[in-house]
Amino acid sequence: MDKKEFSQIRSHLGKTQGQMAQLLGTSVKAIQSFEQGWRNIPVHIERQVLFLLAIKRSHNKRKTYCWVIRRCPMKIRRNCPAWEFQSGQLCWFINGTICQGEVQESWHEKIKMCRQCKVFRSALPLL
């Protein structure tokens, strides 16, 4: 996530820098640093920001699960944490999901792949 995307999401959520800092459990100075590009946005902050955006956008939407969209066979579904927790609209948020036949080793690998996926794009069309 870059500074522009972070700023756009904060704006879309309708939060001030102070409110965003409180939501994310960080300082206003950190939020300012993320938006100015002085500090990299840590993984835990990126995940939390995307989660908040997804939750806000999902309230008025019909939920379609990843395993339906991606037509995952039952054998893969049974081993996937998204299926186990019945969170197929948040599969991108859950580590250890089985996407494209394999588990991604890191958040950076996973989110890079997720950003190309129609499940992620339907949950977070702003991005």
Angle at 25 between CA 22 and CA 29, to 5 degrees: 75
pLDDT attached to residue 102? 85
pLDDT attached to residue 63? 72
pLDDT attached to residue 7? 96
Q: Check residue 69 and give left, alpha or beta (phi > 0: left; psi -120 to 50: alpha).
A: alpha
pLDDT tens series, the chain, 127 aa: 999 999 999 999 999 999 999 999 999 999 999 999 999 999 999 999 999 998 887 765 667 789 998 899 999 999 999 999 998 888 999 988 988 888 887 888 899 899 998 888 887 876 6
| Separation of CA 107 from chain center | 10
Fold topology of 3-58: 434 Repressor (Amino-terminal Domain) (1.10.260)
pLDDT attached to residue 123? 79
Per-position b or e across 49-71, b if 16+ CB within 10 A of its CB: bbebbbeeeeeeeeeebbbeebe
Q: Give the residue carrying structure tokens 């250890």.
A: 96
Report the C-alpha gap between 29 and 47 in whole angstroms: 19
- The ranges assigned to domains in the chain are 3-58, 66-123
Q: What is the pTM of this model?
A: 0.81
